[in-house]
Amino acid sequence: MTDLSKYRNIGIFAHVDAGKTTTTERILKLTGKIHKLGETHEGESTTDFMEQEAERGITIQSAAITTFWKDHRMNVIDTPGHVDFTVEVYRSLKVLDGGIGVFCGSGGVEPQSETNWRYADESGVSRIIFVNKLDRLGADFFKVVDQIENVLAAKPLVMTLPIGREDDFVGVVDVLSKKAYVWDDTGLPENFKVEDVPADMVDDVDMYHDQLIETAVEQDDDLMMAYMEGEVPSTEEIKRCIRKGTLELAFFPTYCGSAFKNKGIQLILDAVVDYLPGPTEVVPQDLTDELGEPTGEVATVSVDEPFRALAFKIMDDRFGALTFIRIYSGKLKKGDTILNSFTGKTERVGRMCEMEADERKELDSAQAGDIIAIVGMKNVQTGHTLCDPKHECTLEAMVFPEPVISIAVEPKDKAGAEKMGIAIGKMVAEDPTFLVHTDEDSGQTILRGMGELHLDIKVDILKRTYGVDLIVGEPQVAYRETITKEIEDSYTHKKQSGGSGQFGKIDYRIKPGEPNSGFTFTSTVVGGNVPKEFFPAVEKGFSSMMEQGVLAGFPVLDVEVELFDGGFHAVDSSAVAFEIAAKGAFRQSIPKAGAQLLEPVMKVDVFTPEDHVGDVIGDLNRRRGMISGQETAGSGVRIKADVPLSEMFGYIGHLRTMTSGRGQFSMEFSHYSACPSSVAEAVIADVKEKNAAK
């Protein structure tokens, strides 16, 4: 049985282009997992194995790799940095025990690093910090350390100092041991010497060494008292204190180096082993009931507990559907039957494997602490709990943000329609922030996602991976119609064509209904002028017309109809005659009742750094938005507003430009509201033009 204290489940996360994937490559090379380095900018890195990732030089989906360092087993997950793919970071952090936050030496704390840091704080993940790219022009380790304190409100504990800057960066000083690690010009990670601290750095190293010990001993009262009385703690005691502080998020050990030039990575691997937690040292996952409420129990990480695991990612690759799971407790063997507590159905485990990016190693068994993939699971989605059928439980579920942007797509030919349906089904299972629905009005397929890049990639995958030729268009806003005033009217339907004719006369009132009341029908006819058996036909006639309004053919909302009188013919009156009369009455009266176009209004929540608040509010006002409130939140301000949907297309790109990429927003449907006349006229003219073109 593997010793869980020698497991490390870690994620590598940062802003776009801070060097996460390059750092992962160096870790794999140093631990002997790969022998040739693949570079991101050449599209050859191990973990960026999708065509789209290789081309764009960015990470799109998180990749998992298992490797070993100093007899410790590491499950490493390389996550994306782009804001459109934050769900990949979020769901990875959910199942990790520790992380490495990578920051660019010249870029510093960038927008996406803030978001990922916030996610990691929410998930309570212990982290070490790696300030990368110190060989670059403008790189400044101390500036980045200041930003970590001021922008992230985090406490960095400086563990290494850089020797040289930019082109002259040759190595690092380990502050704790006061030893210099200097690499030669070959660029090979193993070609370094351990030397004494350069003479010009001795004072700085002494200062940071004292700071390190003072911060560390705060974690142990006895050591602190002894230190204040002049006793110097041993290296082992200091390491124990640093570990304790790291696990409790009191501070974050901070390292520096250059992943691309292979400098400083060994010390980071040592730090993962020394300071990041094993699976048994993190706060156990809560168990919840079916409604997501905590039950008071926790999923203790132990091989002796019943089997519990969380599915955190679904991936469709050339070998079939893969379900990535993190096992929290118990053991799992090939052939076992496990229960999906969300669906209530059991599944048999066929093949299990350890993932090495897109390569895999078959397994016969796995245990608590492992991150593995199961092949061919059915009906399992991201966030589902898998457990022992005799011990049913639900782990704390994942909550995903709502998509904020949508586009309409349709296949170019009939053959593509079926292919598109199958492909979209697989893609929706893989990505919980990618939603699809069919627009009832236009019959188009609407793809919804987290941003323009997100949907670009999805369309690209549909075209290249699945071979579906698509026409990509703009989505249509789902407008509605209603009336604004009450009128009283009368309508007679009369038709004579030999034999029995058709006759139905109705006197009625039409008035605006309460918001969200839909269509309501009442009858106050007395004296039998319209026989009771014809009331349902009148109601059916009116309600069937609510589907298509008179202004631009959009569905009609919130109308009340009262039938108060009428007339009938003993022979010619029938249910059909009264239904036709009601339809004619609707067409005749709705224009007289002040027909009006309604537009969907969205509840928008914008997060922006404080220095851009004025710009963001001004822009929302220009988009006809009504600001409903603002509040300070951590490293910025949240602005809440009600904004018409038609004004929000392309907003994410505009917001990022306005806030230097640091703004984020989410929106959801709030209510329908009257369109200003200029907007209504343009929409009606547009619909008429399209209808004429048909």
* Residue 606 contacts residue 625 (beta carbons within 8 Å): no
Q: Is the dihedral of CA 607, 612, 617, 622 positive or negative?
A: negative
* pLDDT of the residue at 466: 77
CA distance 389 to 650: 47
- Whether residue 294 sits in one domain with residue 249: no
Q: Is the pLDDT of residue 297 over 90?
A: no
What is the Cβ-side half-sphere exposure of residue 51, based on CA atoms within 13 angstroms? 10
CB 555 within 8 A of CB 549: yes
Amino acid at 489: D
Write out the two tokens for 49.
Answer: 């194995």
Say what percent of the chain tops pLDDT 90.
17
Same domain, 558 and 573: yes
Is residue 631 assigned to a domain?
Answer: yes
Task: Say if strands 331-333 and 345-348 run parallel, antiparallel, or are unpaired.
Answer: unpaired
* Tens digits of residue pLDDT in 515-548: 878 889 999 888 778 888 889 999 999 999 888 8
Confidence of residue 487 (pLDDT cuts 50, 70, 90): very high
- The whole-angstrom separation of Cα 691 and Cα 694 is 5
Rounded to 5 degrees, what are φ and ψ at 533? -65, -15
Tell me the three-class secondary structure of 539-598, residue by residue.
Answer: HHHHHHHHHCCCCCCCCECCEEEEEEEEECCCCCCCHHHHHHHHHHHHHHHCHHHCCEEE
Rg of the chain's alpha carbons, rounded to an integer? 32
Q: What is the three-class DSSP state of 694?
A: coil
Domain count, the chain: 5
CATH of the domain at 439: 3.30.70.870
DSSP SS3 for 474: coil
Over the range 295-316, which residues count as b (16 or more CB within 10 Å of their CB) and which as e? eeebbebbeebbbbbbbbbbbb
pLDDT of 242 reads 92
Q: For 115, left (φ over 0), alpha (ψ -120 to 50), or beta?
A: alpha
Least confident of 109-113, 389-393, 557-561: 109-113
Residue pair 318/348 in contact by the 8 Å Cβ criterion: no
* 551 pLDDT tier (thresholds 50, 70, 90): confident
Residues β-bridged to residue 174: 160, 179
pLDDT tens profile 130-155: 888 888 877 888 988 988 888 788 89
| Cα(115)–Cα(83) distance, integer angstroms | 8
Same domain, 584 and 535: yes
Mark whether 450 and 538 lie in a shared domain. Answer: no
In degrees and rounded to multiples of 5, residue 577 shows phi and psi of -60, -45
In this structure, the answer to whether residues 587 and 605 fall within a common structural domain is no
pLDDT tier at 94 (50, 70, 90 boundaries)? low
Q: Is the pLDDT of residue 114 over 90?
A: no
Q: How confident is the model at residue 288, as a pLDDT?
A: 65
Mean per-residue pLDDT, 164-180: 87
Q: How confident is the model at residue 41 (pLDDT cuts 50, 70, 90)?
A: very low
Does residue 686 fall inside a structural domain?
no
For residue 199, pLDDT over 60 is answered with yes
261 located within any domain: yes
CATH number for 349: 2.40.30.10
Residues in CB range of 144: below 8 A, 6 or more apart: 103, 104, 105, 108, 109, 131
Shared domain for 422 and 377, answered yes or no, is no
When pLDDT is averaged across residues 638-654 and rounded to a whole number, the result is 84
CA 438 to CA 447: how far, in whole Å? 9
Average pLDDT score, the chain: 79
In a domain, 688, yes or no: no
Tell whether 349 and 268 lie within a shared domain. Answer: no
Range of the domain at 583: 481-594
pLDDT of residue 246: 92
Do 625 and 496 lie in one domain? The reply is: no
**Helix 86-95 crosses helix 111-123 at what angle (to 10 degrees)?**
30
CB atoms within 10 A of CB 153: 11
Tokens describing residue 446: 């609407």
438 or 328, greater pLDDT: 328
Contacts of 413 (CB under 8 A, 6+ apart): 469
Q: Is the pLDDT of residue 665 over 60?
A: yes
Q: Which tens digit of pLDDT belongs to each residue from 430-476? A: 677 778 877 665 667 888 776 566 777 778 778 877 788 888 776 66
Backbone angles phi, psi at 563, to 5 degrees: -90, 120
**Among candidate residues 418, 447, 473, the one where a domain is terminated:** 473
- Per the domain annotation, does 248 fall within a domain? yes
pLDDT tens column, 15-25? 555 565 666 66
> Quick one: 369 and 445 in the same domain?
no
pLDDT recorded at residue 108: 75
Nearest residue to 309 via CA among 590, 16, 95: 95
pLDDT at res. 159 = 93
| pLDDT over 50 (residue 222) | yes
Tell me the C-alpha distance between 630 and 622, whole Å: 18
What gap in Å lies between CA 185 and CA 74, rounded to an integer? Answer: 29
Specify the pairing of strand 636-644 against strand 626-633: antiparallel
What pLDDT shows up at residue 402?
57
Amino acid at 350: G
**Are residues 275 and 361 located together in one domain of the fold?**
no
Has residue 685 been placed in a domain? no
- Give 372-404 as a DSSP string: EEEES-SS--TT-EEE-TTS--EEPPP--PPP-
Residue that terminates a domain, selected from 255, 281, 307: 281
| Least confident range of 138-142, 162-166, 386-390, 668-672 | 668-672
User: For residue 143, what are the contacts with CB-CB under 8 A and spacing of at least 6?
Assistant: 108
Structural domain includes residue 400: no
Q: For residue 50, is pLDDT > 60?
A: no
Whether the predicted pLDDT of 62 surpasses 50? no
Q: What is the CB-side half-sphere exposure of residue 123 using CA atoms within 13 A? A: 25
Residue range 410-414: mean pLDDT, rounded: 78
Task: Record the pTM.
Answer: 0.62
Residue 583 falls inside a structural domain: yes
Q: Using 50, 70 and 90 to split pLDDT, how confident is the model at 212? A: very high
> Of 144-158, 160-174, 240-254, 309-323, which range is least confident?
309-323
Q: Which residue has the higher pLDDT, 84 or 160?
A: 160
DSSP strand E in 47-178: where? 63-69, 72-78, 98-104, 126-132, 156-158, 160-163, 171-174
Q: How confident is the model at residue 80, as a pLDDT? A: 52
Tell me: pLDDT of 107 over 80: no
SS3 sequence, 331-376?
EEECCCEEEECCCCEEEECCEEEEEECCEEEEECEEECCCEEEEEC
Q: Which two tokens stand for residue 313?
A: 């990612």
**Do 255 and 114 share a structural domain?**
yes
**pLDDT exceeds cutoff 90 at 622:** yes
Which pLDDT value is given to residue 16? 54
Q: Which helix (H) or strand (E) holds 627?
A: strand 626-633
Give which of 98, 72, 69 is closest to 7, Cα–Cα: 72
DSSP state of 675: P
Interval 391-401 mean pLDDT = 70
Written as one letter, the residue type at 202 is V
Name the pLDDT band for 239 (thresholds 50, 70, 90): very high
Are residues 49 and 192 located together in one domain of the fold?
A: yes
Of 243, 265, 281, which closes a domain? 281
CATH number of the domain to which 630 belongs: 3.30.70.240
> Residue 455 has what pLDDT?
76
Please tell me whether residue 478 adopts helix, strand or coil conformation: coil
The pLDDT assigned to 158 comes to: 92
pLDDT of 45 strictly over 60:
no
| Of 273-277, 335-339, 412-416, 481-485, the least confident | 412-416
- 3 state SS of 475: coil
What element of type H or E holds 495? strand 487-495
